[in-house]
Every structure is written in structure tokens, then in C-alpha cells.
Amino acid sequence: MIKKWRAQNLRILKVINLIMCFGFIFFFQRMTFAAGPHSHGSAKLSIVMEKNKGTIEFSVDSGAIYGFEHMALKPADQKRRDDGVNRLRTNISKIIDFDPSLKCILTESKIDAFVSENDHKSKSVNAKRQATHGELKAEYNFVCEKSPQGSKLNLAFGKIFPSIHDLDVQIIGEERQSKQEVEGKEGKVQL
């Protein structure tokens, strides 16, 4: 009698275990979906302006800048990463090109060549190594002699980095806010 009861209990436990396992897998999948892998080749730009000054934030999958999305551990990968960052640095005045009559000066405030999607969960090196979707983030400041608000800004990310096929631009000025898109190699947005 006791044996039979145990066997039945064991079977119930097994079923509960199985349900929990599936539940976890399902939950985990939903979590990774919610975290959202970025869309490859689709970059984001955010421009905030106040009078004649402003800030620009740029982010894209690191594959579009240096060809891969994992943490660069091998010297060859580190070289590819650094070459990609240098290409961004040396071409930035062609990539983010204000109307010359405004006399704007753009300065880099920060480039983070590898931001992993696991960053918000864990900052451990292990988590970064395991990341499958690395991003590059860059921040810039600009100051112009004349206010750039209302002017046209030429953006040519796709010209220097051909994997970037689309750029979503968010613009926040003192009088208007807008979302604009640049498709292909280059295009203008209205500030």
C-alpha cells in the first residue's frame, strides 16, 4: 500500500517537474524576446538641441562597424574592432555633416566599442563573452556659431559603413520634435 502510494507520488512529482521545466524554457524565451535582439544594419541616432548647442547619440550592432558581435578577445579581433572605431573617428565630419554656413564643431565625448545586450542583467566578463548581440555606442557634443535648429543635416553612415542600410533619427529641438529616417548610403534630416 505504502509502496503504491510512493510510486504514484513519484509519478506526480515527475509530471510537476516536467511542467516546471517547460515553464522555465517558455519564460526564458519570452525574456530573451523582450530584451529584443537589435535589427542588424539598422542604426539609431538621437539628436538633442538647445539654442546653438547639442548632443548626438549613435548606436548600431557592432557587426556593422567591425564585422562581429562578440567580445574581441583574440588580437586579430581586437585589431578589427580598433580599425572600425578608427574609421568612425576619422570620417565623423563626413558622416555627420552640418550646413557649413552654421560653422559647427562636433566633438566626440565617448565611444563604447562593445556594449553587450547582457549589460543590463550582468556586468560580468563571462556574460559579456557569451553575448551574441554586441553594439557600438558613440556620443558627441556640438556647438555652432548659428543655431542649427531648422537647418538640414546630412548623415552618411552607410557611405562609410556599407552594412548600415537604415538610420532611425530622433530629433529633439526647442520648438519641435520629430522622428525621421535615412535609408541607403546617405540622406538629409531636418533639424
Residue closer to Zn ion, measured from CB, 81 or 133? 133
Q: In the bound complex, what is the minimum distance in angstroms from residue 20's beta carbon to Zn ion?
A: 31
- Phi, psi values for residue 120, rounded to 5°: -75, -20
Q: How far is residue 30 from each of residues 10, 23, 34, 110, 175, measured CA to CA in Å?
A: 30, 11, 6, 33, 39
Residue closer to Zn ion, measured from CB, 61 or 65? 61
Q: In the bound complex, what is the minimum distance in angstroms from residue 38's beta carbon to Zn ion?
A: 6
Residue closer to Zn ion, measured from CB, 59 or 154? 59
117 binds Zn ion (CB under 5 A): no
Q: In the bound complex, what is the minimum distance in angstroms from residue 89's beta carbon to Zn ion?
A: 23
Residue closer to Zn ion, measured from CB, 84 or 148? 84
Instruction: Tell me the C-alpha distance between 178 and 168, whole Å.
Output: 11
Residue closer to Zn ion, measured from CB, 37 or 150? 37
Which residue's Cβ has the minimum distance to Zn ion? 133
Q: How many residues bind Zn ion (CB under 5 A)?
A: 3
133 binds Zn ion (CB under 5 A): yes
Q: How far is residue 172 from each of residues 83, 97, 148, measured CA to CA in Å?
A: 32, 18, 12
Q: In the bound complex, what is the minimum distance in angstroms from residue 117's beta carbon to Zn ion?
A: 8
Instruction: Tell me the C-alpha distance between 34 and 14, whole Å.
Output: 30
Residues 35-64, one symbol each (x = binds Zn ion by CB under 5 A, - = not), give: --------------------------x---
By CB under 5 A, which span of 1-9, 11-19, 106-114, 132-140 interacts with Zn ion?
132-140
**Chain residues in the site for Zn ion (CB under 5 A):** 61, 69, 133
